[in-house]
Amino acid sequence: MHSTEIEIRTGDRAVVHDLTRDAERFLADAPSGEGDGPSDGLLHVWVPHATAGLAVLETGAGSDDDLLAALDDLLPRDDRWRHRHGSAGHGRDHVLPALVPPYATIPVLGGRLALGTWQSICLVDTNVDNPTRRVRFSFLAG
């Protein structure tokens, strides 16, 4: 298994941050069993945070903004939440990983991500109190 962790700056607003190029760079540097770079296997992506998640979705055509709008509808940033530290409505950020999990596993075929044409691996971060996130990539060769 080959693994690394990167840091992503998400800032002070809710974001959907595309990690696909980061994942491709990681795979390009990952050794295979034969030393030629990765061939087939699984890329596991993990976000070690209680208030962020990962999604595989289309970006750039409005789907990323639609996801954030849907999360605002489902999890309003208001005072209904029992978890009350941080900025107003921060409790909803702690519910996010139940809907947008903190992990994703993507097949790798011939050293390349086996994503669909419009699919991207995205960090979903609605926590405006934490501007920096860590993301762990792990490649398990088949």
Residue 137 has pLDDT above 70, yes or no: yes
Residue 134 has pLDDT above 90, yes or no: yes
Range of the domain at 77: 2-141
Q: How many residues does the chain have?
A: 142
CB 45 within 8 A of CB 103: yes
Residue 37 has pLDDT above 60, yes or no: no
Task: Kindly write down the DSSP assignment for every residue of 50-89, as one continuous string.
Answer: TTEEEEEE--SSSHHHHHHHHHHHHS-SSTT-S---SSTT
Say whether 131 sits in a helix, a strand or coil.
coil
- Tell me the sheet residues that pair with 8: 133
Could you tell me the strand order of the sheet in which 120-125 lies?
15-18, 120-125, 52-57
- Token pair 């700056």: residue: 9
Q: Report the CATH number that the domain containing residue 35 is assigned in CATH.
A: 2.60.120.460
Instruction: Work out the pLDDT band at 89, boundaries 50, 70, 90.
Output: confident
What 8-state DSSP symbol labels residue 139?
A: E
- What is the DSSP pairing of strand 2-9 with strand 112-113? unpaired
